[in-house]
Chains A and B, each alone.
Chain A
Amino acid sequence: MRTLTLLATLLAFLAGLYNYFDSRLEQFYIFEPGQLHDLSQRAIAAHGNDTRAVVNYIVSELDEKTPGSHLNKEEEWVFNNAGGAMGAMYIIHARTAIGTEGHTGRHTADDYFNILQGTQLAYVPGSYEPEVYPQGSVHHLPRGQVKQYKMDASCFALEYARGWIPPMLFFGYADTFSSTLDFPTLWATSRITGREMIANLLKGKMFHETITTSSLFYPGERVAIGASGGKDSTVLASVLKTLNERYNYGLQLCLLSIDEGIKGYRDDSLETVKRNAEQYDMPLEIVGYDELYGWTMDQVVAQVGKKGNCTYCGVFRRQALDRGAARLGIKHVVTGHNADDVAETVMMNLLRGDLPRLSRGTSIVTDSAASDIKRSKPLKYAYEKEIVLYAHHKQLDYFSTECIYSPEAFRGSARTLIKDLEKIRPSSILDIVKSGEDMAELVPAEVKGKSCARAAAEESAGGCGSQNGRSRGGEMAEMEKKLADDEAAESMETEIKLPEQSESLTRKQNKGGKGPSQKTIKTQTMGKCERCGYISSQKVCKACALLEGLNKNRPKTAIEVGVSLEDEESSSTLMRQMEKAQLGG
């Protein structure tokens, strides 16, 4: 109980400080670590092991120095302050633990633990003796360092972090206070926060930071959230809604779902999305494969079998999302890809030596020249673990059943690899993402451009890649097929191949900007499908090609004009005319 009161006080207090600093960001670092250390020592000298008194002493002194805080109106104040944290910020809180152990995480902030009571031990890799931080001392954890730490049962510490702090921290707390005053949950949240949020979220993958630093949105923008009913998209919707209201992004959010037509899977998950639409008060648009293509996935599977059907699903989905967005008049679709997903993709592209896709897969925003619909992945830096914990603690309503058509294969293996690595070294995931980003920068623009049209069309074609995450079945077969397709396509394209010797030059030129530099190249290979007008590097886009195969084998051809293969091959004039017509229209 004592701990809870302490926590409540301190949380209220720190949120108050935040409130103050929020308005004066530039004067952020008003405390010197030394000053806090001095304060901690005086508090300990005055009150010894009476932790509450020690904390009160600190709180009241800090309160005097921060006239803007509203320490006396704790609860109300936290409630009002559900505004959350801003960019570069500052936080003080009591970290208390019962025999807590863990790794400190790699912080993007400098962290100072002023040990108020008990002892903290820290272990630096490679050294045999622990660093011991007794009462009254300061354990400074510099930016970017990782240590193993242990705090004994009665250890309390005043933690001062300078740097980037996650907004989610506040939202967890503020919600607990404001909505339910659910102390056991707060307690649990705090404990988990102790490790999860401080240790992990601090690392710079904070959602709000991601949004602000990459300028994902503009005020008033209409954004469609690709919603599958699964955890990632549900968390994305919940977080975006919260942040949108909290920071006045001014976004108009809606949910966009794809109905692949898989009975016993998608129909159930769509029910979840429908509930979410009500819970989050967002309009919902559902686009069905049957209406777009004349085929449900159940019918496709009946025709092509379970193997390789993910190719169809993935290719169809990419277009379906774009078309759904177009139908709503929305130009920006966000998807729930998390850090684990991106790391998987990086690994897969590495394993298959696919530089162009490697360079595209890591960028947070993918626009394509020929499509005016922008895609982004705001959760790119959020560990899957955090997403699941967030959903768990917020008790979000999400659907978690594997797609019935997906056996595990290539992505499954990449995924297992990543989970195994995470077990050994949790930050591996973000490090892989970072490596992917860095490697992407090294990819010469010409290489990026080389298959970027295809990449754009197939970026999310990895089985159930774009929407429902991990059920990429038949991935191996699909990948082989893709590689074969790519080779075939290559011979048909008139791409500018990069002469060997100029590579280093290009690299130099390309060094400055990673994202936009692709754009100029893209136009070389981008075209539009002559049948449906969708972006494609080939005359007929993948979806139409797949559809043709499907329709050929179905007696009653339901959709799509029949252009025979021979016609296609010799119809470059026709293609150009079509393109002109489409560009003009």
Chain B
Amino acid sequence: MMTTDPGASLHTTGMEALSPFSIAVEFTGGLEMLFSNKHKHSVTLPAQLNDGGRPNISFLLEHLVENVMKDERKELFILEGNVRPGILVLINDADWELEGEENYELQPGDNIVFVSTLHGG
């Protein structure tokens, strides 16, 4: 019944294979417009960074801006190196504030959702 216990992934350690892994990234609430009008993206990340650490959300943000985002208006997504205030981030459906925000270390199969609250209602 439980296939994806989001908590379980937290217990995986850096000891496993160092091959790149992929995660799902989703943009909604109007943000998808900055990402080729595509809601769901699959993103492949290296298992280890140059400094030896694991890729975290900060790394993902850089990666998205440099490699996935075609729109020039980077500031609509990233401000001062972090997610623009007013954009919610969900890590496996939980508010990223519960997970350490940009320092959360990504795990294989993670589902990261960016929801803009900046559009009309």
Interface residues of A, Cβ cutoff 8 Å to B: 1, 3-4, 97-102, 153, 183-185, 187-188, 191-192, 194-196, 228, 230-235, 336, 338, 340, 384-385, 387-389, 392-393, 398, 400-403, 415-416, 419-420, 422-423, 464, 467-471
Asked if A188 and B94 sit within 8 Å, CB to CB, the answer is yes
With A187-B5, A416-B85, A422-B85 known as contacts, the answer to whether A392 contacts B121 (CB < 8 A) is no
Sample (15) of A-B pairs whose CB atoms are under 8 Å apart: A153-B10, A183-B2, A184-B3, A191-B6, A228-B121, A233-B121, A338-B121, A389-B88, A393-B93, A398-B121, A422-B86, A464-B120, A468-B120, A469-B120, A471-B119
Asked if B30 and A195 sit within 8 Å, CB to CB, the answer is no
With A191-B93, A230-B119 already in contact, 7 other A-B pairs whose C-beta atoms are closer than 8 Å = A183-B2, A184-B6, A188-B94, A195-B97, A340-B117, A400-B29, A416-B86
CB distance from A228 to the nearest CB of B (A): 6
Asked if B121 and A231 sit within 8 Å, CB to CB, the answer is yes
Asked if B85 and A230 sit within 8 Å, CB to CB, the answer is no
B18 at the interface (CB under 8 A from A): no
CB-contact partner of B7 in A98, A102, A420, under 8 A: A98
Interface residue total, chain B, C-beta cutoff 8 A = 32
B15 at the interface (CB under 8 A from A): no
Asked if B30 and A192 sit within 8 Å, CB to CB, the answer is no
Asked if A235 and B121 sit within 8 Å, CB to CB, the answer is yes
In the bound assembly, the distance between CA atoms of A350 and B45 in angstroms comes to 47
In the bound assembly, the distance between CA atoms of A102 and B97 in angstroms comes to 7
With A101-B100, A388-B88, A423-B85 known as contacts, the answer to whether A401 contacts B33 (CB < 8 A) is yes
CB distance from B116 to the nearest CB of A (A): 7
With A101-B100, A195-B97 known as contacts, the answer to whether A392 contacts B28 (CB < 8 A) is yes
In the bound assembly, the distance between CA atoms of A195 and B97 in angstroms comes to 9
Give every chain B residue within 8 A of A228 (Cβ-Cβ): 120-121
Q: A412 — nearest CB in chain B belongs to which residue?
A: B118
Majority secondary structure, B binding face: loop
Give every chain B residue within 8 A of A191 (Cβ-Cβ): 6, 93-94, 98
Give every chain B residue within 8 A of A97 (Cβ-Cβ): 98
Asked if B93 and A402 sit within 8 Å, CB to CB, the answer is no
Give every chain A residue within 8 A of B86 (Cβ-Cβ): 415-416, 419, 422
Asked if A469 and B119 sit within 8 Å, CB to CB, the answer is yes
With A188-B6, A422-B85 known as contacts, the answer to whether A230 contacts B115 (CB < 8 A) is no
Asked if A400 and B94 sit within 8 Å, CB to CB, the answer is no
Q: A3 — nearest CB in chain B belongs to which residue?
A: B7
In the bound assembly, the distance between CA atoms of A230 and B120 in angstroms comes to 6
Asked if B2 and A192 sit within 8 Å, CB to CB, the answer is no
Give every chain B residue within 8 A of A102 (Cβ-Cβ): 97-98
With A233-B121, A401-B119 known as contacts, the answer to whether A183 contacts B1 (CB < 8 A) is yes
- Indicate with 1 or 0, residue by residue over B67-91, a CB within 8 angstroms of chain A CB atoms: 0000000000000000011101010
Give every chain A residue within 8 A of B93 (Cβ-Cβ): 184-185, 188, 191-192, 393
Q: B7 — nearest CB in chain A belongs to which residue?
A: A98
Asked if B120 and A403 sit within 8 Å, CB to CB, the answer is yes
In the bound assembly, the distance between CA atoms of A185 and B116 in angstroms comes to 21
B62 at the interface (CB under 8 A from A): no
Give every chain B residue within 8 A of A402 (Cβ-Cβ): 30, 119-120
Give every chain A residue within 8 A of B88 (Cβ-Cβ): 385, 388-389
CB-contact partner of B115 in A392, A422, A469, under 8 A: A392
Give every chain B residue within 8 A of A468 (Cβ-Cβ): 120-121
B4 at the interface (CB under 8 A from A): yes
In the bound assembly, the distance between CA atoms of A232 and B29 in angstroms comes to 12
Asked if B120 and A467 sit within 8 Å, CB to CB, the answer is yes
Give every chain A residue within 8 A of B85 (Cβ-Cβ): 416, 419-420, 422-423
In the bound assembly, the distance between CA atoms of A464 and B4 in angstroms comes to 42
In the bound assembly, the distance between CA atoms of A35 and B115 in angstroms comes to 43
Complex interface residues of chain B between 1 and 25 (CB less than 8 A to chain A): 1-7, 10
Give every chain A residue within 8 A of B30 (Cβ-Cβ): 400-402
CB distance from A372 to the nearest CB of B (A): 26
CB distance from A158 to the nearest CB of B (A): 20
Asked if B98 and A100 sit within 8 Å, CB to CB, the answer is yes
CB distance from B110 to the nearest CB of A (A): 13
B92 at the interface (CB under 8 A from A): yes
In the bound assembly, the distance between CA atoms of A388 and B120 in angstroms comes to 11
Asked if B2 and A4 sit within 8 Å, CB to CB, the answer is yes
With A388-B88, A419-B85 known as contacts, the answer to whether A196 contacts B95 (CB < 8 A) is yes
